[in-house]
Amino acid sequence: METKEELQIIVDGCIKGKRKYQKQLFEMFYGKMMAVCMRYAKDQDEAQDMVQNGFIKIFKKLDVYNFEGSLEGWIRRIMVNTAIDQIRKNKRDPFSIEEDSRIQNIEEDVPFSEEDEYETKIQAEEAIKAISNLSPAYRTVFNMYVMEGFTHKEIAEYLGISEGTSKSNLAKAKQKLKAELSLKFQRH
């Protein structure tokens, strides 16, 4: 991991528009930011678009970064904002409450047991796939709350929805995930 001085040199080089440093910063954070965007995107292509757009914003705004918080945290926040902006752009009102008559009552316990490493990897891949299959509204609220640690109040303010809508979308996202994953893992 780079020291604060090394990061300062990279950031200064990026601000001056030097490709060498831009490439270094991009390579340093691409993998982690791709993982962030994959949680919001419907597929890998959309996630790559989000990452590219996010880095464009990062390079434009890097001169305001003041090294008070972690650079990774600052970059992550821009990526999340970029992902949400792209979802908004692609669909008029993706964060309103969505009704889904197919949601059923599911037993409380999802059947997970001790599994070997291969089975655990398969389950993780299925969970990521299930999250990406959620509607933009459900996926965004789920990721902001569960993965990014936002409160319902923060989500509501950021997305321009009520706290109740945020809570409803989270509950419905969890219910849909539980239904999809319990069906997949009952087969194994």
CATH number, position 176? 1.10.10.10
Residues 71 and 141 in one domain: no
CA of 133: how far to CAs of 38, 68, 130, in Å?
11, 37, 5
Residue 104 lies in a domain: no
Question: Could you list the residue range(s) of the whole structural domain that residue 61 is in?
Answer: 4-90
Given this model, what pLDDT does residue 56 score? 95
Low-confidence ranges of the chain (pLDDT < 70): 1, 91-124, 185-188
DSSP H stretches of helix in the chain: 4-15, 19-38, 44-61, 71-90, 117-133, 136-142, 152-159, 163-186
Residue 64 lies in a domain: yes
Residues 50 and 128 in one domain: no
Residue 108 lies in a domain: no
Given this model, what pLDDT does residue 124 score? 65
Given this model, what pLDDT does residue 120 score? 55
Given this model, what pLDDT does residue 117 score? 53
* Contacts with 147 (C-beta within 8 Å, 6 or more apart), sequence order: 36, 39
Contact 8, 19 (CB under 8 A): no
CATH number of the structural domain spanning residue 66:
1.10.1740.10
Residue 111 lies in a domain: no
Given this model, what pLDDT does residue 180 score? 82
Residues 9 and 82 in one domain: yes
Residues 122 and 83 in one domain: no
Q: How many domains does the chain have?
A: 2
Given this model, what pLDDT does residue 64 score? 93
Residues 76 and 11 in one domain: yes
Residues 131 and 85 in one domain: no
Residue 107 lies in a domain: no
Given this model, what pLDDT does residue 31 score? 93
Given this model, what pLDDT does residue 126 score? 74
For 75-119, write each residue's pLDDT tens digit: 999 999 999 888 888 765 555 555 443 333 333 344 444 444 555
